[in-house]
Structure 1
Amino acid sequence: MYTDATAATAPGTTASTSGGPTRRPRRLRRLIPVVAVMAGGVLLAGCTAVQSGLAQAASGTSTGTGTSQTSTTTAVASATLDELVSTNEDGTVVREDEWSQDDAIDVTLSGSGATAASGVTSADGVVTVTEAGVYRLSGSLDGRVVVAAPEDALVVLILDGATIDSAAGPAIEVQTADDVAIHLAEGSDSAITDTTGYAEDADANAAIFSEQDLTLSGAGTLTVDAAGDGITSEDDLAIIGGTIAVTAADEALRGKDSIQVEAGTLALDAGGDALQSDNDEEEGRGWIRIEGGTIDATAGDDGFNALTDILIGGGTVSVEATGDGLHADVALAVAAGAVTVEGSDEGLESALVQLDGGTIDITASDDAINGSAGSSTTDASAGPGAMGGMGGMADSGELVSITGGEVTLRAGGDGLDSNGSIEISGGTVTVWGPTSDGNGALDANGGLTVSGGTLLAVGSSGMAESPEAGSSQAWLQAAASGQAGSSVEILDADGTVLASYTAERAFSDVVFSSSGLTGETATVTVDGAATEVALGTATAGGQGGGGQGGGMGGGMGPGRP
C-alpha cells in the first residue's frame, strides 16, 4: 500500500549554548499513500482535510496544501500496522533515562512568584525558565510558568505537588526550547487551572501549551481544568506515564504533528475532540498512535480525530462521543488492545479501516464502521434520508479489511459499511444492525468478500446485503425474523449447531459465514422456528451479492464534513 523512504537526516547533536542537555533532530519519512477520494471530486480543506500527498499519489499533481484539490480514484489496499506506522514521521519522546532527577533545581511557587537557585526569573505573575535543565516545581502559583530557553535546550519540569492557576493565558507555556518534558513526581498530586477567555485566533490557547515537542511522564497525578484546549503541542505530544485528568472546553489533547500514548491513565472530558492531531500542511504528520495505557474519553465532537492515521497496537480505549468515535482521514488500524465506543454518530471511520486483532466493541447511532474518505456533501437541507458518503452507490475505492480480532457492532444506520469494498479473512465479526429498512447490517458499494473468520450480521431486510457469490468461504442469508432476546441458532445440513446467539434487537434478516458451514444447505432457527436456505444465495428482494448495488453506500444520513 505504501512506499517508505527516509527523506533526510538532519545534522547530529549540537552543543547547547546554555550548557544543558541537547536534542537530536528527528528523522523524517515521506508519506506516499495510494488512497484516493472520488474521481474528479473536490477535497475540501478543513472538511475532508486529506493531505496533498493523497492527490499527488493518485494523480501526480497537487494544487497545494490548505486549498481545494482534485484527485483520481485509486483503490485502497490492506496494510499491516507496522506498514502504516512506517509511512509516518517518527514522533519525538523524551525518555526518563535522558535526564536525572538528581540534577533538579528546586523551584518554590508562592503567591504570584517563585524562588529558585538558578535558571528561573520571576516578575509580574510570570515565572520564566530561561535555561536548559531539570526543574522541580512545588507550591502554589497565581500566575503562569513560561519556558523561554535556548532553541537547542532540553527542559524538564517536575511537578511535585504544584498548583498553577492562570487567568491571563496558558498556565504552562513553552515558547522556546528544543524538547520539553513534564514529569509527574511519584505519589504527588498537581493541578493546572486556566480560566482565560481566548480569542478565536489566539496562538496559545491551552492550559498547557507548547510550541515545541512535549512529553508527559511519571507516576504522579495531574488534573487539568481548561477554558480552551487542555494540553496542546504544536509539534509532537507524547504520554508515557502518569494519571492525567483533563476537562477542557475544546480539545482535551492536541498534538498538531502527532499524539502517541505508551502508558498512563487518561480521563478526558472535552467540549470538542478528546484527542486531535491536525497538521494538514506537512506530509507524515497529523497522526495518533496508541501502544498502551488506559484512555477514557468523553467528547462533544469526535473521540479521536486524525488528519492522517489512527494506529492502535495496545492499551485500552473507551470513547463516548457526540461525533465519530474514532475518525482518521487516511487509515484507522487496530492490531491489539481493546477499543470500545460506547456511543457515537459513526463509530470508526476512515478511508482504510484495518482490523487485525484486539477487541473492538462499537455502538453508533449511524454507521458502526464506515470505510469513507470523507464527503463533499454538506447540504444540511438534504436532511436525513439524503445520500451521504462519496456519491451514493458508486464504489469510490475505500476498504474495510478484517483479518482478526473480536469485533462487535451495534448500529442505528449501516452496521459494517464501506463506500468501497469490505474484505473479511479472519476474526469474529458480530453485527447487530439497524431496525429501519433504510439501512442494512452490511453495506459495501464495491462488494463484500469473506475468505475466513466468522461473520454474523443481523438486521432489517429492506436494504439487506450479503457477501459476494465468489467468496471463498461459504455463507448464508435467511429471511428470518425475531425480537430482542430471541434465540438464534445456525445449523448445518446434518443438524449440527454451528453457532447460537441471543439477539440484541429486533431483526428480519440474518447473514452468517464460518469455516464450519459446508454442503449445500443450512438452517437458521429463531426461537425454534426453522428457515432452511441454500448456501450462497441472497434473499429475494435484498441487495445480495454486494456488486448488485450494495445498499445505499455510506449510510443514509447527510454527508459528514
Structure 2
Amino acid sequence: MMNKKNMKRIAGAAMVAAMLVSSTPAVPIVSYAATAKATVLTVKDSSEVTISEDGVYELSGSYKDTVINVEKGVTAELIFNKLTLTDKNASAENMVTIGKNAKVTITLKGSSKLIGSSSSETLESAIVHKKDGGEGSLTIRDGGNGSLTITGTKDDGIKYKEGTVTIESGTLKITDCHGDGIQAENVSITGGYVDITTVYDEADTSFYTSGNNVSGKNTITEQENTKVERVNVDTGSHKGIKVGTKAKTYSYKSVTSEDLEANKTYTQEGSGLLSITGGTVVINTAGTGLKANKLTTTGYTATSSGKYIVGSPDDALASNGDIVISGKAKVTVTSSDDGLSAAGTVTIKDTATVDIQKAYEGVEAEKIIIGEKNATSGPNVTIESNDDGMNASGKTVTYVYDDETESTYTKTSVSDGTNAINIYSGKVTIKIDSENAKTVKLNNSSLTYQSSGDGMDSNGDIDIEGGEVYVFGQSTGDNSPIDMDGNYTLSKNATVLAVGCNPMGEVTPKAGDSVYVTYGESGNMGQFPGMQTDGSMPTPPTDGSMPTPPSDGQFPTDGNMPTPPTDGQQPPEGQNPLGGTASIAAGSVVTVKSGDTTVYETTIPYAASYIFYASPMLSSDAENTITVSEKTTDDSQTTDTKTTETIKGKTTTIKTAKALGKQKIKVTWEKNSLADGYQIAYRKKGGSWKYVTVSNKTTVSKVLTGLKKGKTYEVKVRAYQKVNGKKVYAKYSKVRTLKCK
C-alpha cells in the first residue's frame, strides 16, 4: 500500500472546489442533462483521489503511484481525458477502487492508460476493482476518440463481483493480464471495440498427470457421465470474460471460521448473463496453456482420460448462466480451452458474427441455439477446434474443499440436464483438422498437437430446422461430424454438409422431412468378441473348462492374437469398429446434382470416408448424385433420395417379441434375402423412438437391454440394402407391444 502521508485526498464537493483549475471551463457531458458540469481535478504523483459525492469529474495528465477511490453508494462519472496512471513501485492494491453499490461511468476522451505491475511476483490485485458486497455498476463509453488500455496485472483487469459491467462505445484493451480480463456478475457489450488478452507465467508447465490424487499434481478420472478432478495445485483463472456465480454443492473438510461448519453441505445457486448485442469483441487466451487430445511433444503426461492439459488453459467467454450474442455483434476468439462456455444456454442470433479461430471445444453449453425460427437471415458462426466443435452437455458440480481457502479440492461433475443443439437460421461452419499437426509456442516451449473430436455433439437432441451447416470432421476413428444421444431431426428447409466418417451411423437423421444424398460407407460397431448373434453374451461354463473358441474367425484357435498393424492402417470396412479407411482425399472436389442441375460444389479440406448432403434444392422426384473428383481419378456414386419403398417393396416381419428377465426384450424377425442389415426401432409407449442397427445380414434376432421393469414398450424392425453407398430402407414391420419384466 502507498504511504498515506504522501497521498493527496480529494473528498467531497468542498475539497474538490478548492482544487478547480480556474482557467479551465466546465465540460458538458452529452449523455447527461444539459446542466451537468465536470469538475476538473488537479492530481499529483503518489496521491489518492477520493470521490465521496455524486458528480462529474475529469482527470487528465500522467502520474505515478496515484490511485482513484470512489466511495460506496456514490454515482459518479469519471472523464479520463488522456489520463495515464502508472503503478511504478508496485504499491497499489488496486489502481481504481469502487465502493459497494456505487454507480460509475468512465467516459474516454483521447487515449488513456492504467499500467499495473505484472512484473511483481507478490502483488496480485485487479486494476479496476469493486469492493465485495452490494451490486453497483460500471459503464465505459466514448467521449471523443476515446480508448482505455489496462495492462500489467497478476490479477484481473476489471473485477466487478456482484456488479454489472457495461461497455457502450470507445475502445477497451486489456493486455498482459494474468487473471481474468473482465470478471463480473453480468457483462453487457452494446458497442465499441473490446480487445482482451490473458496470459499465464507457467503456460508450458504440466500440472496434470495420470492416476488419481497424485501428490503435488492434479488428476482427472472419467467414467461414463462422471468426471472426478483432484486439484492439488491451483493455477488460477485466466478467462477473457467471466460472468456470474457458479451453481454448485460444496463442503469443507476442515474450517477455522465460525461462520462455516466442517463436512456440512452447502448449496450455491448459479447466475450470470453475458450479453453482446453490438460492437467488436476480440478475445485471446491462447497464452495461458494448451488442452488437446493428442500431443506429440515429449515430456508431458496425459490424464487417465487421455487428455493433455498444459499450463492453465482457459475459456475465452464464460458464463455461469447464459451467453447471448445478437444484433450486429462481431466476436473473434482464440482460446486455449472453450471458445464460448455457458452453464445454461448459448444463443447466437440476428446477424451476429462469431469466429472461433482456435479452441479445445468451440461452443459448450447445456443448450446451444443458432438463429431464430422463420427468420429470413441469421448469424454466421465459424469454428476450428481441437475437440468437439459444438458440445451440448450440462452438468451438476460438487466440490469438497480441503479448507476454506478453497485452493485444493476434489471436484465431481456429473453430466445431466436437457441438452440440445437447435439451428434455425444462419450459417455454421465447423472444421476439425485431425490430419495436420499444429504447433503453439508457450513461453519458451513449442508444443505440437493434433485435433480429434465430433463436429456437433449433443448429450440430448439435435434439431436443424433451417439455415446452412457445414461440418468437416476427421476421416476415421470414433468421432463423426454429427453425434447425439437423443434424436436427430432434419428439416427439408435446412442445408447440411457433413464430411468425415460415420462410425455409428448417426450422420443420417432419425426424423424430419429432408431430402438427402450420401457418398461412401458408414462404419459399424460390430459385435463384441464372443457375443452371440442376438446380442447376448455366452453362458459361462460351470465345470471350470474353457469354452470352445468361435469358428467364425473372431479368434485364432491357437490362442494367439492377430498381429496388430504397424503402419497405422485401418482394417477393411465392416471390420473396423471405429469407421472405415479414408477413401476420399483431401482437396477433392465434391459436386452435388439433382437431376442435371448442380446444386452445390466445394473442395473438401481434409480426407474423408463419408459425405452427407441435404438441401431444399434436392428433389425427391429426381436422381440426386454426389460426384467426387480427386487429384488423379474421378469417382461418382449415384444414390436414391430418402425413401421407404425400396428393396423390392419388401416388408420385414417380426416372428416373435418376448420379454426376458433383467429388463430385456428379445426380438426375432424373418430374414430378407436382399437385405444387408436391419434396423430396430423401440420406445417406451408414447415416448421417442430409439434405434439399433444390426449390420450382419445373417443375424435375425436381437436382445434389447437397459429397459425399465414394468414399462410397456413398442418395437418394430425394417431391413436395409446398400445401394451405391447409401442405406435404402424397406418398410417397417407392424409394431409389437409388450411389457418388460
Q: TM-score by structure 2 length? A: 0.54
Is 1:229 the counterpart of 2:138 in the alignment?
no
Tell me, in whole angstroms, the C-alpha distance in 2 between the residues paired with 1:342 and 1:279. Answer: 28
Tell me, in whole angstroms, the C-alpha distance in 1 between the residues paired with 2:596 and 2:419. Answer: 39
Number of the residue aligned with 1:548 = 691
Tell me, in whole angstroms, the C-alpha distance in 1 between the residues paired with 2:355 and 2:197. Answer: 16
Tell me, in whole angstroms, the C-alpha distance in 1 between the residues paired with 2:414 and 2:13. Answer: 56
Number of the residue aligned with 1:437 = 477
Number of the residue aligned with 2:516 = 475
Is 1:154 the counterpart of 2:75 in the alignment?
yes
Is 1:338 the counterpart of 2:353 in the alignment?
yes
Deviation at 1:132, TM superposition (A): 1.2
Number of the residue aligned with 2:279 = 293
Is 1:246 the counterpart of 2:174 in the alignment?
yes
- Greater CA radius of gyration, 1 or 2? 2
Is 1:143 the counterpart of 2:65 in the alignment?
yes
Tell me, in whole angstroms, the C-alpha distance in 1 between the residues paired with 2:117 and 2:62. Answer: 16
Tell me, in whole angstroms, the C-alpha distance in 2 between the residues paired with 1:503 and 1:224. Answer: 42
Tell me, in whole angstroms, the C-alpha distance in 2 between the residues paired with 1:549 and 1:396. Answer: 24
Paired residues of 2:75 and 2:102 also in contact (CA < 8 A): yes
Paired residues of 1:390 and 1:419 also in contact (CA < 8 A): no
Give structure 2 stretches of 5+ with no counterpart: 1-11, 15-28, 200-237, 248-267, 289-313, 372-377, 400-411, 433-451, 522-582, 645-674, 682-688, 694-741
3-state secondary structure, aligned to 2:353 = strand
Deviation at 1:484, TM superposition (A): 2.0
Paired residues of 1:310 and 1:332 also in contact (CA < 8 A): yes
Which one of 136, 139, 161 corresponds to residue 215 of structure 1?
A: 139
Which one of 299, 302, 306 corresponds to residue 315 of structure 2?
A: 302
Tell me, in whole angstroms, the C-alpha distance in 1 between the residues paired with 2:387 and 2:35. Answer: 50
Number of the residue aligned with 2:625 = 523
Give, as a single letter, the amino acid of the residue that structure 1 aligns with 2:506: E
3-state secondary structure, aligned to 2:56 = strand
Distance of aligned partners of 1:214 and 1:96 in 2 relative to their CA distance in 1, 3 Å threshold: farther
Distance of aligned partners of 1:542 and 1:191 in 2 relative to their CA distance in 1, 3 Å threshold: farther
Distance of aligned partners of 1:396 and 1:512 in 2 relative to their CA distance in 1, 3 Å threshold: farther
Paired residues of 2:246 and 2:270 also in contact (CA < 8 A): no
% identical equivalent positions: 27
Deviation at 1:348, TM superposition (A): 0.7
Number of the residue aligned with 2:438 = none
Number of the residue aligned with 1:280 = 246
Deviation at 1:177, TM superposition (A): 5.0
- What is the aligned-residue RMSD (CA, Å)? 3.2
CA deviation vs aligned residue, 1:464-512 (integer Å, no higher than 9, x gap): 52333431122233217422211001122x2322211110111111111
Deviation at 1:263, TM superposition (A): 0.7
3-state secondary structure, aligned to 2:31 = helix
Is 1:505 the counterpart of 2:606 in the alignment?
yes
Paired residues of 2:44 and 2:66 also in contact (CA < 8 A): no
3-state secondary structure, aligned to 1:206 = coil
Aligned length: 427
Deviation at 1:396, TM superposition (A): 5.8
Distance of aligned partners of 1:306 and 1:321 in 2 relative to their CA distance in 1, 3 Å threshold: same
3-state secondary structure, aligned to 1:529 = strand
CA deviation vs aligned residue, 1:188-241 (integer Å, no higher than 9, x gap): 1111012165879x7xx3111124311111140111113111112120010001
Number of the residue aligned with 2:422 = 401
Please identify, of 514-523 and 163-172, the stretch whose mean Cα deviation from structure 2 is larger. Answer: 514-523
Tell me, in whole angstroms, the C-alpha distance in 2 between the residues paired with 1:295 and 1:195. Answer: 25
Is 1:326 the counterpart of 2:312 in the alignment?
no
Deviation at 1:389, TM superposition (A): 9.4
Paired residues of 2:592 and 2:598 also in contact (CA < 8 A): yes
Give the 5 Å matches for 1:27-42. none
Number of the residue aligned with 2:435 = none
Number of the residue aligned with 1:193 = 115
Number of the residue aligned with 2:488 = 448
Greater RCO structure (CA 8 Å; 6+ sep): 1
CA deviation vs aligned residue, 1:40-81 (integer Å, no higher than 9, x gap): xxxxxxxxxxxxxxxxxxxxxxxxxxxxxxxxxxxxxxxxxx
Number of the residue aligned with 2:330 = 316
Paired residues of 2:241 and 2:317 also in contact (CA < 8 A): yes
Deviation at 1:522, TM superposition (A): 2.4
Tell me, in whole angstroms, the C-alpha distance in 1 between the residues paired with 2:353 and 2:77. Answer: 32
Give, as a single letter, the amino acid of the residue that structure 2 aligns with 1:157: L
Give, as a single letter, the amino acid of the residue that structure 1 aligns with 2:179: D
CA deviation vs aligned residue, 1:294-322 (integer Å, no higher than 9, x gap): 11110131010000100011311000000
Tell me, in whole angstroms, the C-alpha distance in 2 between the residues paired with 1:518 and 1:407. Answer: 23
Give, as a single letter, the amino acid of the residue that structure 1 aligns with 2:507: S
Deviation at 1:516, TM superposition (A): 2.1
Paired residues of 1:214 and 1:236 also in contact (CA < 8 A): yes
Paired residues of 2:498 and 2:507 also in contact (CA < 8 A): no
Deviation at 1:283, TM superposition (A): 6.5
Tell me, in whole angstroms, the C-alpha distance in 2 between the residues paired with 1:101 and 1:289. Answer: 32
Give, as a single letter, the amino acid of the residue that structure 2 aligns with 1:459: G
Distance of aligned partners of 1:549 and 1:370 in 2 relative to their CA distance in 1, 3 Å threshold: farther
Number of the residue aligned with 2:46 = 112
Give, as a single letter, the amino acid of the residue that structure 2 aligns with 1:310: I
Tell me, in whole angstroms, the C-alpha distance in 1 between the residues paired with 2:106 and 2:368. Answer: 34
Tell me, in whole angstroms, the C-alpha distance in 2 between the residues paired with 1:249 and 1:542. Answer: 56
Is 1:418 the counterpart of 2:458 in the alignment?
yes
Number of the residue aligned with 1:165 = 86
Paired residues of 1:101 and 1:134 also in contact (CA < 8 A): no
Number of the residue aligned with 2:385 = 364
Give structure 1 stretches of 5+ with no counterpart: 1-17, 21-94, 114-125, 379-387, 551-561
3-state secondary structure, aligned to 1:505 = coil
Number of the residue aligned with 2:506 = 465
Number of the residue aligned with 1:495 = 596
Deviation at 1:149, TM superposition (A): 3.1
Deviation at 1:129, TM superposition (A): 1.4
3-state secondary structure, aligned to 1:400 = strand
Give the 5 Å matches for 1:70-109. 97-98=31-32, 103-109=37-43
Tell me, in whole angstroms, the C-alpha distance in 2 between the residues paired with 1:476 and 1:390. Answer: 38
Deviation at 1:543, TM superposition (A): 11
Is 1:535 the counterpart of 2:641 in the alignment?
yes
Tell me, in whole angstroms, the C-alpha distance in 1 between the residues paired with 2:104 and 2:423. Answer: 39
CA deviation vs aligned residue, 1:367-404 (integer Å, no higher than 9, x gap): 001111147699xxxxxxxxx9966xxx9631100000
Deviation at 1:433, TM superposition (A): 1.1
3-state secondary structure, aligned to 2:466 = strand
Paired residues of 2:72 and 2:98 also in contact (CA < 8 A): no
Give, as a single letter, the amino acid of the residue that structure 2 aligns with 1:330: G
3-state secondary structure, aligned to 2:586 = coil
Paired residues of 2:481 and 2:507 also in contact (CA < 8 A): no
